[in-house]
Amino acid sequence: MKKSWKDVDIALIVKKGGTAQDFKTGDWRSSKPVWDSEKCKQCLTCWLFCPDSSIQVKDEKMTGIDFEHCKGCGICAKECPFKAIEMEVEKK
């Protein structure tokens, strides 16, 4: 049941944190990063630069890309010193 103007919380604050994660921005993408794990030296430069925290890392190693949030800006591909990430046009 959606709330009326009389019932919404002041300033529409959301009573939890980290809510940006619930907002899927992946469908904004027009081109996508393709990661080549063979060329990757695990320097994590992409993780450092990604403005959307979309480089997935486990135990200090890159494991993939979060396509639910990656907007396809291409910064990771531009910054990768080993050309392990390349952008390709998104096919929808």
φ and ψ at 67, to 5 degrees? -80, -5
DSSP, collapsed to helix, strand or coil, labels residue 87 as: strand
Q: Does 16 bind another protein (CB under 8 A)?
A: yes
d(CA 28, CA 44): 24
In the complex with another protein, which residue's Cβ is closer, 17 or 81? 17
d(CA 48, CA 43): 10
Q: Which x/- pattern over 20-59 shows residues binding another protein (rule: CB under 8 A)? A: ---x------------------------------------
Q: Does 2 bind another protein (CB under 8 A)?
A: yes
Q: Which of 24, 25, 46, 26 is nearest to 35 (CA)?
A: 46
User: How many residues belong to the site for another protein (CB under 8 A)?
Assistant: 17
In the complex with another protein, which residue's Cβ is closer, 13 or 89? 13
Residue ranges in contact with another protein by CB under 8 A: 2-6, 8, 10-19, 23
